[in-house]
Chains A and B, each alone.
Chain A
């Protein structure tokens, strides 16, 4: 018991010193820390959004919708392929996640298979002997597209958020098709949500002047056409409420290289520029269709449908259409950042304003401080000098906890603060177990030194067993919990681990030093 190898003493002291050093930056303001030399640790515990204020958004990429849309575009290819091969069919339609149809002549089934196989290697085509066929994406292709869609969405969302000038956003994938967005300092996320919620798919499509809206409504829609509603702008809208436009896209928004809000006369507009390829295609399309109107379509709504007066060869243009200054600048931002590959829904939103965050920090810190103070006094009341030893160990435990949190880059949430307060109460349990054991041994008539020794060695197993169960609960919470619960699980688990070190080793070192230095004849408990 009395023997403590020198290297062990050094190691324990070094760990304690490290704990103090790593946790110390949390006491100072960032401005002060910046003025310190580089070798001083300055990392502080990262505060969660519930403490520093900010907005937490959980988004889901609607991959199924993107898939449906893709099938809708492929249905034309299927139709054309069958028509080109002169194969009769009925009931061609998208149903669920596949295109269904039926081949009329059983003899042509093989021909149909061949014709359809050429459309896209990602497609799987099955046609039964009765002629009933399905075209869908293979599981591998679907999976690949999902991953791609989520990756692209993350990228686009990052660009959109960066464009708004929000500082230190965190955007990360969560699970299979979810994206977690954290925006510190944002207490009113309405604008961001509006920007994120829009797909911003821009296309230029010709208006079919040969078809009337009435015909289209009564079911006589020319093949290759679609009916699109006009954007319901807040200002008085001029023109029809819907348009019949060609499905074929003249040019897509993906060929834009720049978009900026500007003014035409007094009206806010968005000016844009195509890349080389887009400019060429736009020039060709406009040259061939002078005098005809074309529709500027955003997210399947027609923003405006100007008439082409002359070929547009410069590769740039403007979009007008009852914008406000804000909506013009939003649209320009969205066009610059690019379109989302799939629609996005907001599953969960948690926003905390700065005043509540500050209140929470204050309340949490006060509760922690008072809790620790009560425990400290309690330990001295019940254990005297040994209580002081336990309290010193508790201090190092707190430092080690904060130090580990800073070092690991863990996020401290309000439940996390509760976790700290709670582990402070639990940490002294190891001391209580040891001290009670020492008392028992003294009562059983042992000498002072052997009582101390027995107290530590025999309480050890109990301490480990009783702490592991808390760690089990902590690990499960971390694994299955979300946000705030995770924060709690982290502080609880770290606190249990550091308390094992401090309550056993740090306390023992103090007692050994005390025995060696002062040569006491009895234990004061």
Chain B
């Protein structure tokens, strides 16, 4: 019979609650610095949000002569022009800042740039976003993120007790804010796919939290007299192997996207990877300990779940 090669034999006995204050402090620092970074440095918004033009060209034959291309484009006086190598040495990503004068002006800038650059280039991608659409996308993105946070909190509050909803909301918010902070810190481009990644991170990080909450709730029913801190510790330790295994499989998928998925998905993969790691951390060190402070009433938990299956396991 095919047996597993690696087995976590015993339930670990890590005292998470002993470290939770350190975790809170660390997370507060992380969150605060993210907010400060966001407010001071700001995000490197992609054209999806602020409008502008992005052109990916491949020099045939390569490699591309960046200096010469820059010179040609600067001569046009069409605002900020940035060029950067992108993948292989023949590929260049050109960004033109948003042109003053509405949506039609963006298109004219592209035409000028193409004329100036001349032949010998393959246009792999041209993206032009006018100011109208950019503004709308920012709004839709912010709304989607807020709604996601609220909806998730309500779902948890509905399935558990409101105290769990608070915990889930705090830890998810923490994950979202620090992901944004990471993008501000490293000046990574923040675009539509990054936003999709952040929403996924919100969904995923709660997934972990819900599993742990589920166990806390179950233990509250099973061990009616156990001190709350001990109970949380037990729940975290009992679900730890699952937490680690799941974060590993998701991380494997994300890592292969990061290294093999190409330049276009890079920002998405970085946001996901960070989100998966920070989401797991926050489930253990934020979401669970928060419950310690907003302790749900044991009687309420027992009542609300009377309809559910009675605990079958015998207490150890």
Residues of A within 8 A of B (CB): 50, 58, 60, 187-188, 190, 193, 345-353, 355-356, 359-360, 363-364, 366-368, 370-372, 374-375, 378-388, 414-415, 417-418, 421-422, 424-426, 428-429, 432-433, 436, 439-441, 443-446, 454, 457-458, 461-462, 465-474, 476-477, 479-485, 488-489, 492, 520, 524-525
Q: Assess the A384–B5 pair: CB atoms within 8 A.
A: yes
**Counting CB contacts under 8 A, is B77 at the interface?**
no
By a CB distance below 8 angstroms, the chain B residues around A465 are 159, 210, 214
Query: Known contacts A425-B253, A440-B238, A524-B2: does B103 contact A347 (CB below 8 Å)?
Result: yes
A167 to B147, CA, bound (A): 40
Q: How many A-B residue pairs have CB under 8 A?
A: 268
Instruction: Determine whether the beta carbon of B211 is less than 8 Å from that of A462.
Output: yes
Contacts of B41 in A (CB 8 A): none
Chain B positions within 8 Å of A482 at CB level? 137, 140, 192
Does B58 belong to the interface (CB within 8 Å)? yes
**How far does the Cβ of B295 sit from chain A's closest Cβ, in whole Å?**
21
> B245: nearest residue on chain A (CB-CB)?
A432
Are A466 and B210 closer than 8 Å at their CB atoms?
Answer: yes
Are B124 and A384 in contact (CB-based, < 8 A)? no
Q: Is B250 within 8 A of A426, CB to CB? A: yes
Contact pick for A433, options B2, B242, B259, CB 8 Å: B242
**CB distance A356 to B252 under 8 Å?**
no
State whether B309 touches A353 (Cβ < 8 A).
no
Bound Cα distance from A380 to B245, whole angstroms: 12
B265 x A349 contact (CB < 8 A): no
Query: How far does the alpha carbon of A462 sit from the alpha carbon of B127 in the complex, in Å?
Result: 43
Interface bits B78-90 vs A (CB < 8 Å: 1, else 0) = 0000000000000
- Option from A428, A436, A471, A474 in Cβ contact (under 8 Å) with B249: A428
Chain B residues lying within 8 Å of A443, measured Cβ to Cβ, are 11
In Å, the complex CA distance between A387 and B5 comes to 11
**Is the CB of B6 closer than 8 A to any CB of chain A?**
yes
In the assembled complex, 20 residue pairs joining A and B whose CB atoms fall closer than 8 Å, in A order, are A346-B103, A346-B104, A346-B107, A347-B133, A351-B127, A360-B264, A364-B265, A366-B260, A384-B1, A425-B253, A426-B207, A433-B211, A436-B245, A466-B211, A466-B214, A469-B207, A472-B152, A473-B203, A482-B140, A488-B196
CB distance from B143 to the nearest CB of A (A): 6
Query: Does B2 lie within 8 Å of A385, measured CB to CB?
Result: yes
A363 touches B262 (CB 8 A): yes
Closest-CB distance, B144 to chain A (whole angstroms): 4
How distant is the Cα of A360 from the Cα of B260 in the complex, in angstroms?
10
The answer on a CB contact under 8 Å between B245 and A363 is no
Are B2 and A384 in contact (CB-based, < 8 A)? Answer: yes
Q: Does B155 contact A (CB under 8 A)?
A: yes
Q: Which B-chain residue is minimally distant from A353 (CB atoms)?
A: B124
* A462, B214: Cβ atoms closer than 8 Å: yes
Contact check, A426 vs B196: say whether CB atoms are below 8 A apart: no
Q: How far is the CB of A220 from chain B (nearest CB, A)?
A: 34
Contact B252 A371 (CB under 8 A): yes
Q: Smallest distance from the beta carbon of B242 to chain A beta carbons, Å? A: 4
Shortest Cβ gap from A519 to chain B (Å):
12
Contact B123 A348 (CB under 8 A): no
Does the CB pair A58–B133 fall under 8 Å?
A: yes
Q: Flag if B262 contacts A473 (CB, 8 Å).
A: no
Residue of A at shortest CB range from B208? A466
Q: Which residues of A contact B309 (CB under 8 A)?
A: 457-458
With a cutoff of 8 Å between Cβ atoms, the chain A residues found around residue B7 in the complex are 382, 525
Contact check: which of A50, A348, A441, A469 meets B203 at CB < 8 Å?
A469
User: In this complex, what residue of B is CB-closest to A445?
Assistant: B314
State which of B104, B128, B192, B208 has its C-beta within 8 Å of the C-beta of A481: B192
**Contact indicator A382/B4 (Cβ below 8 Å):** yes
CB distance from A468 to the nearest CB of B (A): 6
Which A residues touch B5, using CB under 8 A? 381-382, 384
- Contacting pair B264 A414 (CB below 8 A): yes
The answer, among A193, A352, A418, for a CB contact under 8 Å with B257, is A418
User: Which residue from chain B places its CB closest to the CB of A414 in the assembled complex?
Assistant: B264
A382-B6 contact given A414-B265, A429-B249, A470-B203, CB 8 Å threshold? yes
The answer on a CB contact under 8 Å between A371 and B199 is no
A428 to B192, CA, bound (A): 27
B residues lining the A interface (CB < 8 Å): 1-7, 11, 56, 58, 102-104, 107, 111, 114, 122-130, 132-133, 137, 140-141, 143-144, 147-148, 151-152, 155-156, 159, 192-193, 195-196, 199-200, 202-204, 206-208, 210-211, 214-215, 238-239, 241-242, 245-246, 248-257, 259-262, 264-265, 268-269, 272, 308-309, 312-314, 316
Chain A residues within an 8 Å CB radius of B151: 472, 476
Q: Smallest CB–CB gap between A158 and chain B, Å?
A: 21
CA distance A459 to B114 in the complex (A): 59
Give Cα A183 to B114, complex, Å: 21
CB atoms of A485 and B193 under 8 A apart: yes
A418 vs B193: C-alpha distance in the bound complex, in angstroms? 10
Cβ-neighbour of B256 out of A351, A371, A415 (below 8 A): A371
Whether B257 contacts A422 by the Cβ 8 Å rule is yes
Residues of chain B contacted by A363 (CB below 8 angstroms): 260-262, 265
Given contacts A348-B128, A469-B203, A481-B140, 5 further A-B contacts (CB under 8 A): A418-B268, A454-B313, A465-B159, A469-B152, A480-B147
Distance to closest chain B CB from A225 (angstroms): 29
| Closest chain B residue to A433, Cβ basis | B242
Cα–Cα, bound, A470→B262 (Å): 25
Q: Measured between alpha carbons, how far is A385 from B132 in the docked complex, in Å?
A: 56
Question: Which chain A residues border B122 with CB–CB below 8 Å?
Answer: 353, 355
User: A414 to chain B: which residues have CB within 8 Å?
Assistant: 262, 264-265
Contacts A60-B132, A356-B56, A388-B2 given; indicate if A367 touches B261 (C-beta within 8 A): yes
Q: How far is the CB of A458 from chain B (nearest CB, A)?
A: 7
Measured CB to CB, the nearest residue on chain B to A387 is B4
Contacts of B200 in A (CB 8 A): 422, 470, 473, 488, 492
In the A-B complex, list the 9 residue pairs whose CB atoms are closest, starting with the nearest.
A425-B253, A473-B203, A363-B262, A371-B256, A470-B203, A384-B4, A356-B124, A367-B260, A371-B253
Q: What residue in chain A is nearest B146 (Cβ atoms)? A: A476
Residues of A with C-beta under 8 A to B199 = 473, 476-477
Q: Which residue from B203, B246, B264 sits with its C-beta under 8 Å from A429?
A: B246
Q: Give the complex CA separation of A386 and B5 in angstroms.
A: 12
* A415 CA / B196 CA spacing, docked (Å): 9
What CA separation (Å) do A454 and B264 show in the bound complex? Answer: 44
Q: Which residues of A contact B208 (CB under 8 A)?
A: 466
CA distance A60 to B206 in the complex (A): 39
Shortest B249–chain A CB gap in Å is 5
CA A372 to CA B208, docked complex, whole Å: 21
Question: Are A425 and B249 in contact, with the CB atoms below 8 A?
Answer: yes
**Residues A385 and B155 in contact, CB atoms below 8 Å apart:** no
Query: Given A470-B207, A484-B192, A351–B125 Cβ distance below 8 Å?
Result: yes
Closest to B141 in A: A480
Chain B residues whose C-beta falls within 8 Å of the C-beta of A454 in the assembled complex? 312-313
Q: Which residue of A lies closest to B147 (CB)?
A: A476
On whether the beta carbons of B128 and A346 are closer than 8 Å, the reply is: yes
* Chain A CB within 10 A, most for which of B148, B214, B250: B250
